[in-house]
A = this chain, B = another copy of it.
Amino acid sequence: MMISLGVDIGGTSIKGASVSEEGQIKARFSLPIIAQETGKETVERLGNKILSFINENKMQNNEIVGLGIGCPGAIDSENGVIDYSNNLKWSDVPIKEILEKITGLKVKITNDANAAALGEAYFGAGKEASSVILLTLGTGVGGGIIINGKVYEGNQGKGAELGHTIIEINGRPCTCGRKGCLEAYASATALISDTKEIMKKNPDSLMWKLVNYDIDLVNGKTPFTAKLQGDTYANEVINQYINYLGEGILNFCNIFRPEIIVLSGGIAQQGKDLLDPLISYCEKNDYGFKGTPKVKITAAKLGYDSGIIGSASLFFNNK
Protein backbone atom coordinates (compact mmCIF):
# COMPACT_ATOMS: atom_id res chain seq x y z
CA MET A 1 0.00 0.00 0.00
CA MET A 2 1.28 3.45 -0.93
CA ILE A 3 1.06 5.95 1.92
CA SER A 4 1.70 9.67 1.87
CA LEU A 5 1.73 11.99 4.86
CA GLY A 6 -0.32 15.19 4.68
CA VAL A 7 -0.04 18.17 7.00
CA ASP A 8 -2.33 21.21 7.21
CA ILE A 9 -0.88 24.16 9.09
CA GLY A 10 -3.65 26.34 10.55
CA GLY A 11 -3.71 29.45 12.68
CA THR A 12 -4.06 27.63 16.02
CA SER A 13 -3.03 24.05 15.34
CA ILE A 14 -1.26 21.76 12.91
CA LYS A 15 -3.13 18.67 11.78
CA GLY A 16 -1.64 15.74 9.95
CA ALA A 17 -2.43 12.23 8.83
CA SER A 18 -1.23 9.24 6.87
CA VAL A 19 -3.27 9.00 3.69
CA SER A 20 -3.67 6.08 1.29
CA GLU A 21 -3.54 6.35 -2.49
CA GLU A 22 -7.33 6.09 -2.41
CA GLY A 23 -7.52 9.27 -0.31
CA GLN A 24 -8.40 7.44 2.91
CA ILE A 25 -7.04 8.79 6.17
CA LYS A 26 -5.33 5.96 8.07
CA ALA A 27 -4.11 7.63 11.29
CA ARG A 28 -4.02 11.21 12.55
CA PHE A 29 -1.88 13.47 14.67
CA SER A 30 -2.03 17.09 15.71
CA LEU A 31 -0.03 19.61 17.62
CA PRO A 32 -0.80 23.13 18.82
CA ILE A 33 0.71 26.32 17.47
CA ILE A 34 2.56 27.98 20.34
CA ALA A 35 2.63 31.72 19.89
CA GLN A 36 5.95 32.17 21.75
CA GLU A 37 7.82 29.91 19.33
CA THR A 38 9.53 31.05 16.16
CA GLY A 39 8.45 29.43 12.90
CA LYS A 40 11.65 27.39 12.86
CA GLU A 41 11.01 26.06 16.39
CA THR A 42 7.43 25.08 15.52
CA VAL A 43 8.55 23.33 12.35
CA GLU A 44 11.25 21.43 14.28
CA ARG A 45 8.61 20.35 16.81
CA LEU A 46 6.42 19.25 13.86
CA GLY A 47 9.33 17.21 12.46
CA ASN A 48 9.82 15.37 15.76
CA LYS A 49 6.08 14.78 16.07
CA ILE A 50 6.08 13.21 12.61
CA LEU A 51 8.98 10.94 13.58
CA SER A 52 7.11 9.66 16.62
CA PHE A 53 3.88 9.34 14.59
CA ILE A 54 5.74 7.11 12.11
CA ASN A 55 7.11 5.01 14.97
CA GLU A 56 3.80 4.72 16.81
CA ASN A 57 2.09 3.56 13.65
CA LYS A 58 4.86 1.10 12.85
CA MET A 59 5.40 2.55 9.39
CA GLN A 60 8.63 2.13 7.47
CA ASN A 61 10.11 5.20 5.77
CA ASN A 62 10.33 3.22 2.51
CA GLU A 63 6.56 2.73 2.37
CA ILE A 64 5.95 6.48 2.72
CA VAL A 65 6.19 8.21 -0.66
CA GLY A 66 6.50 11.67 0.84
CA LEU A 67 5.40 14.39 3.20
CA GLY A 68 3.15 17.13 1.79
CA ILE A 69 2.56 20.38 3.65
CA GLY A 70 -0.20 22.95 3.13
CA CYS A 71 0.81 26.34 4.57
CA PRO A 72 -1.08 29.60 4.89
CA GLY A 73 0.46 32.76 3.47
CA ALA A 74 3.01 33.43 0.78
CA ILE A 75 4.86 30.25 -0.10
CA ASP A 76 7.91 29.65 -2.26
CA SER A 77 6.96 26.16 -3.33
CA GLU A 78 9.98 25.83 -5.62
CA ASN A 79 12.43 26.24 -2.77
CA GLY A 80 10.18 24.92 -0.03
CA VAL A 81 10.19 28.12 2.02
CA ILE A 82 7.35 29.90 3.82
CA ASP A 83 8.17 33.45 2.78
CA TYR A 84 5.64 35.13 4.96
CA SER A 85 2.55 34.20 6.91
CA ASN A 86 0.54 37.05 8.33
CA ASN A 87 -1.56 34.85 10.64
CA LEU A 88 1.39 32.93 12.06
CA LYS A 89 3.81 35.86 12.05
CA TRP A 90 6.36 33.62 10.37
CA SER A 91 8.82 34.72 7.76
CA ASP A 92 11.54 32.98 5.77
CA VAL A 93 11.02 29.52 7.27
CA PRO A 94 12.88 26.89 5.18
CA ILE A 95 10.29 24.25 6.09
CA LYS A 96 11.27 21.74 3.38
CA GLU A 97 14.93 21.73 4.42
CA ILE A 98 14.13 21.41 8.15
CA LEU A 99 11.60 18.60 7.72
CA GLU A 100 13.67 16.64 5.21
CA LYS A 101 16.61 16.74 7.61
CA ILE A 102 14.59 15.56 10.61
CA THR A 103 12.35 12.99 8.93
CA GLY A 104 14.44 11.76 6.03
CA LEU A 105 11.29 11.99 3.87
CA LYS A 106 10.86 13.85 0.60
CA VAL A 107 8.94 17.07 1.32
CA LYS A 108 6.72 19.23 -0.93
CA ILE A 109 4.86 22.35 0.15
CA THR A 110 2.01 24.37 -1.29
CA ASN A 111 -0.38 27.11 -0.20
CA ASP A 112 -3.26 25.86 1.99
CA ALA A 113 -5.97 26.76 -0.55
CA ASN A 114 -4.04 24.94 -3.29
CA ALA A 115 -3.83 21.89 -1.02
CA ALA A 116 -7.58 21.97 -0.38
CA ALA A 117 -8.19 22.28 -4.13
CA LEU A 118 -6.00 19.27 -4.84
CA GLY A 119 -7.75 17.20 -2.16
CA GLU A 120 -11.18 18.04 -3.59
CA ALA A 121 -9.95 17.47 -7.16
CA TYR A 122 -8.54 14.03 -6.40
CA PHE A 123 -10.92 12.62 -3.82
CA GLY A 124 -13.78 15.07 -3.20
CA ALA A 125 -16.30 17.11 -5.16
CA GLY A 126 -14.07 17.32 -8.24
CA LYS A 127 -12.92 13.77 -8.54
CA GLU A 128 -14.48 13.27 -11.97
CA ALA A 129 -12.95 16.51 -13.29
CA SER A 130 -9.52 17.38 -14.65
CA SER A 131 -9.91 21.17 -14.24
CA VAL A 132 -11.10 22.39 -10.86
CA ILE A 133 -11.22 25.84 -9.29
CA LEU A 134 -11.65 26.04 -5.53
CA LEU A 135 -12.73 29.16 -3.65
CA THR A 136 -12.58 29.36 0.12
CA LEU A 137 -15.17 31.74 1.54
CA GLY A 138 -13.87 32.47 5.01
CA THR A 139 -12.05 35.34 6.68
CA GLY A 140 -10.75 36.05 3.20
CA VAL A 141 -11.36 34.54 -0.23
CA GLY A 142 -8.67 32.01 -1.12
CA GLY A 143 -8.20 30.26 -4.40
CA GLY A 144 -6.83 27.00 -5.73
CA ILE A 145 -6.38 26.10 -9.40
CA ILE A 146 -6.13 22.51 -10.63
CA ILE A 147 -5.31 22.10 -14.31
CA ASN A 148 -4.98 18.65 -15.85
CA GLY A 149 -4.98 17.20 -12.37
CA LYS A 150 -2.07 19.34 -11.15
CA VAL A 151 -1.88 22.38 -8.87
CA TYR A 152 -1.20 25.56 -10.84
CA GLU A 153 0.59 27.94 -8.51
CA GLY A 154 2.11 30.57 -10.78
CA ASN A 155 5.66 31.85 -10.78
CA GLN A 156 7.42 30.92 -7.51
CA GLY A 157 4.09 29.71 -6.10
CA LYS A 158 2.64 33.21 -5.97
CA GLY A 159 -0.43 32.89 -8.21
CA ALA A 160 -3.96 31.61 -7.59
CA GLU A 161 -4.77 34.67 -5.49
CA LEU A 162 -8.33 34.52 -6.78
CA GLY A 163 -9.72 36.64 -3.94
CA HIS A 164 -7.43 39.48 -4.91
CA THR A 165 -9.02 40.21 -8.25
CA ILE A 166 -11.06 43.36 -8.43
CA ILE A 167 -14.73 43.19 -9.37
CA GLU A 168 -15.32 46.88 -8.73
CA ILE A 169 -12.72 49.36 -9.86
CA ASN A 170 -11.86 51.80 -7.06
CA GLY A 171 -14.24 49.87 -4.82
CA ARG A 172 -13.96 48.70 -1.22
CA PRO A 173 -10.46 48.76 0.26
CA CYS A 174 -8.95 45.29 0.59
CA THR A 175 -6.37 44.11 3.14
CA CYS A 176 -3.98 43.56 0.22
CA GLY A 177 -3.86 47.24 -0.67
CA ARG A 178 -6.00 47.07 -3.82
CA LYS A 179 -9.49 48.52 -4.03
CA GLY A 180 -12.50 46.46 -5.06
CA CYS A 181 -11.16 42.91 -4.61
CA LEU A 182 -13.60 40.00 -4.64
CA GLU A 183 -12.43 39.25 -1.08
CA ALA A 184 -13.83 42.59 0.10
CA TYR A 185 -17.30 41.57 -1.16
CA ALA A 186 -17.52 37.78 -1.01
CA SER A 187 -15.63 36.73 2.15
CA ALA A 188 -17.48 35.77 5.32
CA THR A 189 -16.01 38.95 6.80
CA ALA A 190 -17.64 41.05 4.07
CA LEU A 191 -20.99 39.28 4.42
CA ILE A 192 -20.98 39.84 8.18
CA SER A 193 -20.09 43.49 7.74
CA ASP A 194 -22.84 44.00 5.12
CA THR A 195 -25.31 42.24 7.41
CA LYS A 196 -24.46 44.51 10.33
CA GLU A 197 -24.82 47.56 8.14
CA ILE A 198 -28.33 46.70 6.99
CA MET A 199 -29.31 45.77 10.57
CA LYS A 200 -28.18 49.15 11.85
CA LYS A 201 -30.37 50.84 9.27
CA ASN A 202 -33.33 48.59 10.02
CA PRO A 203 -34.17 48.06 13.69
CA ASP A 204 -37.22 46.02 12.63
CA SER A 205 -35.09 43.28 11.00
CA LEU A 206 -35.67 39.80 12.44
CA MET A 207 -31.91 39.45 12.56
CA TRP A 208 -31.78 41.56 15.72
CA LYS A 209 -33.82 38.96 17.57
CA LEU A 210 -31.64 36.14 16.21
CA VAL A 211 -28.53 37.66 17.76
CA ASN A 212 -30.28 38.55 21.00
CA TYR A 213 -29.96 42.26 20.11
CA ASP A 214 -26.15 42.01 20.35
CA ILE A 215 -24.68 42.97 16.96
CA ASP A 216 -21.33 41.43 17.87
CA LEU A 217 -22.99 38.02 17.67
CA VAL A 218 -23.74 38.33 13.94
CA ASN A 219 -21.99 35.61 11.95
CA GLY A 220 -22.11 34.22 8.45
CA LYS A 221 -25.17 32.12 9.28
CA THR A 222 -27.29 35.01 10.59
CA PRO A 223 -28.67 36.31 7.28
CA PHE A 224 -29.24 32.77 5.94
CA THR A 225 -31.26 31.79 9.00
CA ALA A 226 -33.24 35.04 8.95
CA LYS A 227 -33.98 34.71 5.26
CA LEU A 228 -35.56 31.31 5.87
CA GLN A 229 -37.74 33.00 8.48
CA GLY A 230 -38.91 35.52 5.89
CA ASP A 231 -36.79 38.56 6.82
CA THR A 232 -36.70 40.84 3.77
CA TYR A 233 -33.53 42.61 4.93
CA ALA A 234 -31.69 39.30 5.21
CA ASN A 235 -32.99 38.43 1.76
CA GLU A 236 -31.61 41.70 0.44
CA VAL A 237 -28.16 41.12 1.97
CA ILE A 238 -28.00 37.62 0.56
CA ASN A 239 -29.12 38.71 -2.91
CA GLN A 240 -26.38 41.30 -2.91
CA TYR A 241 -23.85 38.72 -1.73
CA ILE A 242 -24.95 36.30 -4.48
CA ASN A 243 -24.53 39.10 -7.01
CA TYR A 244 -20.92 39.75 -5.88
CA LEU A 245 -19.91 36.11 -5.53
CA GLY A 246 -21.74 35.16 -8.73
CA GLU A 247 -19.91 37.78 -10.80
CA GLY A 248 -16.59 36.62 -9.33
CA ILE A 249 -17.41 33.02 -10.19
CA LEU A 250 -18.50 33.98 -13.72
CA ASN A 251 -15.12 35.68 -14.16
CA PHE A 252 -13.38 32.41 -13.25
CA CYS A 253 -15.71 30.51 -15.59
CA ASN A 254 -14.68 32.76 -18.48
CA ILE A 255 -10.99 32.62 -17.61
CA PHE A 256 -10.67 28.90 -16.92
CA ARG A 257 -13.95 27.37 -18.14
CA PRO A 258 -13.22 24.61 -15.64
CA GLU A 259 -15.40 21.56 -15.32
CA ILE A 260 -16.21 22.42 -11.74
CA ILE A 261 -15.96 25.21 -9.18
CA VAL A 262 -15.84 23.98 -5.58
CA LEU A 263 -16.71 26.27 -2.68
CA SER A 264 -15.28 25.68 0.77
CA GLY A 265 -14.91 27.61 4.01
CA GLY A 266 -17.50 28.93 6.44
CA ILE A 267 -20.05 30.34 4.01
CA ALA A 268 -20.01 27.18 1.86
CA GLN A 269 -21.36 25.30 4.88
CA GLN A 270 -24.73 26.95 4.22
CA GLY A 271 -25.03 24.33 1.49
CA LYS A 272 -28.27 24.50 -0.48
CA ASP A 273 -29.25 27.89 0.95
CA LEU A 274 -26.14 29.34 -0.70
CA LEU A 275 -25.86 27.06 -3.71
CA ASP A 276 -29.44 27.23 -5.00
CA PRO A 277 -29.58 31.00 -5.51
CA LEU A 278 -25.92 31.10 -6.58
CA ILE A 279 -26.30 28.44 -9.27
CA SER A 280 -29.46 30.08 -10.49
CA TYR A 281 -27.66 33.47 -10.70
CA CYS A 282 -24.72 31.98 -12.58
CA GLU A 283 -26.88 30.05 -15.04
CA LYS A 284 -28.87 33.17 -15.81
CA ASN A 285 -25.81 35.36 -16.30
CA ASP A 286 -23.34 32.91 -17.83
CA TYR A 287 -21.50 33.93 -20.95
CA GLY A 288 -23.73 32.52 -23.63
CA PHE A 289 -21.76 31.84 -26.81
CA LYS A 290 -22.74 28.71 -28.68
CA GLY A 291 -21.23 25.53 -27.37
CA THR A 292 -19.96 26.97 -24.10
CA PRO A 293 -20.07 24.10 -21.60
CA LYS A 294 -21.68 24.63 -18.21
CA VAL A 295 -19.52 24.81 -15.13
CA LYS A 296 -20.73 22.75 -12.20
CA ILE A 297 -20.81 24.77 -8.96
CA THR A 298 -20.82 22.79 -5.75
CA ALA A 299 -19.69 22.67 -2.12
CA ALA A 300 -16.54 20.89 -0.94
CA LYS A 301 -17.00 17.29 0.17
CA LEU A 302 -13.98 16.57 2.34
CA GLY A 303 -14.68 19.26 4.92
CA TYR A 304 -11.75 20.09 7.15
CA ASP A 305 -9.78 17.13 5.77
CA SER A 306 -9.42 18.56 2.27
CA GLY A 307 -6.16 20.31 3.25
CA ILE A 308 -4.59 17.22 4.83
CA ILE A 309 -5.67 14.90 2.01
CA GLY A 310 -4.65 17.46 -0.62
CA SER A 311 -1.20 17.98 0.91
CA ALA A 312 -0.66 14.22 0.94
CA SER A 313 -1.85 14.15 -2.68
CA LEU A 314 1.14 16.26 -3.75
CA PHE A 315 2.79 12.83 -4.01
CA PHE A 316 -0.05 11.14 -5.89
CA ASN A 317 -0.92 11.49 -9.53
CA ASN A 318 -4.29 9.98 -10.21
CA LYS A 319 -5.60 12.17 -13.02
Contacts and interface: CB of A to CB of B under 8 A. Distances in A.
Contacts of A1: none
A161 B257 CA distance: 9
B158 A251 contact: no
A84 interface: yes
A173 interface: no
Contacts of A287: 161, 164, 176-178
Interface stretch (A8-16, A94-102, A195-203, A289-297): A289-297
B154 A290 contact: no
Interface stretch (A26-34, A210-218, A230-238, A242-250): A242-250
A291 B84 CA distance: 8
A258 B288 contact: no
Among A177, A244, A250, A292, the one with the most B-chain Cβ atoms within 10 Å of its Cβ is A292
Given A74-B291, A167-B166, A257 B159 contact: yes
Name the interface size band of chain A.
35 or more
A263 B23 CA distance: 43
Query: Dominant SS at the A interface?
Result: loop
Interface in A124-154: 131, 143, 145, 147, 152-154
Given A74-B291, A290-B91, A291-B83, A155 B259 contact: yes
A156 interface: yes
A202 to B, nearest CB: 23
Contact of A255 (B161, B177, B244, B292): B161
A165 interface: yes
A177 B288 contact: yes
A168 B168 contact: yes
A271 to B, nearest CB: 25
Interface in A83-97: 83-84, 91
**This chain: copies in complex:** 2
A201 to B, nearest CB: 21
Nearest to A131: B155
A254 B159 contact: yes
A305 interface: no
Contacts of A73: 289
22 contacts: A74-B292, A83-B289, A84-B290, A131-B155, A147-B147, A154-B257, A154-B258, A158-B257, A158-B291, A158-B293, A160-B255, A161-B287, A166-B247, A166-B251, A167-B169, A168-B169, A169-B171, A169-B244, A176-B289, A177-B285, A178-B285, A180-B247
Given A164-B254, A166-B250, A255-B255, 13 more contacts: A84-B290, A147-B147, A153-B257, A154-B258, A156-B293, A159-B254, A159-B257, A160-B255, A161-B254, A161-B287, A168-B168, A177-B287, A177-B288
